[in-house]
Structure 1
Amino acid sequence: MASMVVAPAVGLSETFTRLKQKGKHFFYAKVAFIPYITAGDPDLSTTAQALKVLDSCGSDIIELGVPYSDPLADGPVIQAAATRALAKGTNFNAIISMLKEVVPQLSCPIALFSYYNPILKRGVEKFMATIKDAGVHGLVVPDVPLEETGILRKEAVKNKIELVLLTTPTTPTDRMKAIVEASEGFVYLVSSVGVTGARSSISSRVQSLLQEIKKATDKPVAVGFGISKPEHVKQIAGWGADGVIVGSAMVKILGEAKSPEEGLMDLENFTKSLTAAIS
């Protein structure tokens, strides 16, 4: 069966620019919906299908996690997903092969979420060239401090990959400003201290952090970590975020479903409930 032809995805920055223009046309701020899933959980075939489901349900950017054995920033749900994916034999080369097949069928860009060790293992230069070749537009590396991002940023620029940097509620103001200045694509605001994972509520501190960052930059700001319900998405959009990132709740659905088919169906329904909250 022939693959559906879609308009090629644009980069992260361009995606936010288009949303802003669309928002002006409709007289409201259009907030980017950014789901996260772990590659290879429950298997890469399901990951490929999940990327298509997320795209068709209105995702603006999709974060795809590269499973790693020591994911320091991740809570139990994503850690368990990474463990399952690695146990199934998921590796970087297999993920790249899958992306080469799937990315041309997607209308939204992919941002890889990878810890630094797998990047160093391959070599920064080779890693960046490889993900560019697979059609990836962005990269998030949660465990690299700003001072050590020089080579990553250099190779990212060379390969037209937007390197997204993270700032947290405990980041000092001067450091936050430096991170914001260096970040490409968007600024990733971590909503809470600690690891990823669904939380019952979102701290109102996020609202003041958003205002603080927006005083320092015109770059889009997306909020992630702990967001798991339509009401969270709506609340963060109302606080002025340019994007909302939902991870653990997505990963849990796919990883804990009785079958891949059921997981994909539940993922579709859940994604629609989240995108409806900000449409």
Structure 2
Amino acid sequence: MFIIALSTFKEIYRKKIFHFIGILTIVYLILLTIIFKFTSNNVTGNNGMIDMIANLSSTISIIGFYFSSILVAFLTIMLSIGMVSSEIENGTILTILTKPIKREEYILGKYLGTAILIILYSTFLYIAVITISTVNRISMVETFGTAALAKGFLFFILQPLTILSISLYGSTKFKTLNNGIVVVALYVLGLIGGVMEQAGAYIANDSLSTIGIISSLISPFEVIYRKMISTIFTSLGTFNPMSGFGFGIPGKSTTPSVWMMVYVCVYLVFFIFVSIKEFAKKDIG
């Protein structure tokens, strides 16, 4: 399993798409730095009021973490949709499976190798966003605290790992292109479902909330992001996911529950398990 994981890690590292996303990440961080710098200068011009700094830090942190989570999700999808299917399509898997490697070890190794790289990338991006804020005197660490940011990081990496699990399953069942379409559709469904659930809560529309919740159960990726933000904002005493953008929309919070996070973990493990089962019965070559 670990041999497959190491091989997968090296293989992904050499892919052009990984290098492309690396360049995209640098551009993104430069733009984020400009936003923080511009905001910091405005705060300085207003005597750096504490409340203003806290509000700006809250707003920019949501924006920064939101687009960072999308970037990580994009990386995860692009690197994982062909984890198994591409090797079946080009015949590489025949060479691998002739070695004394069990099929479940192959699947777990594929997941582990990809997961390690994604965790490393996510860690870099998460720390980079926090560092940029600190350098530009709108410190997330001072606003939210190290403990809250550390807890938030756990959910930040949980999202791509969950996406990876369902992408792994799709890669054992569908061709690479088809799997890409399915995973992207599920990710978008999660985003839409999250918006519908929150909108339903704000306008007290139970039907809209129910549709959003069902969508989130099918695709819980946006829920994980919302849990991350709520965990970070807990240090401020309240959480309103819209207030960070300055909308000030009243209404009850739609913070995901602990049980929803338990469901997400079960969701992740379930799709790894069915990936193993699906690949075990797959006729190759």
TM-score (norm 2): 0.27
Which structure dedicates a bigger proportion of its chain to helix?
Answer: 2
* Greater RCO (CA < 8 Å, at least 6 residues apart): 2
TM-score (norm 1): 0.27
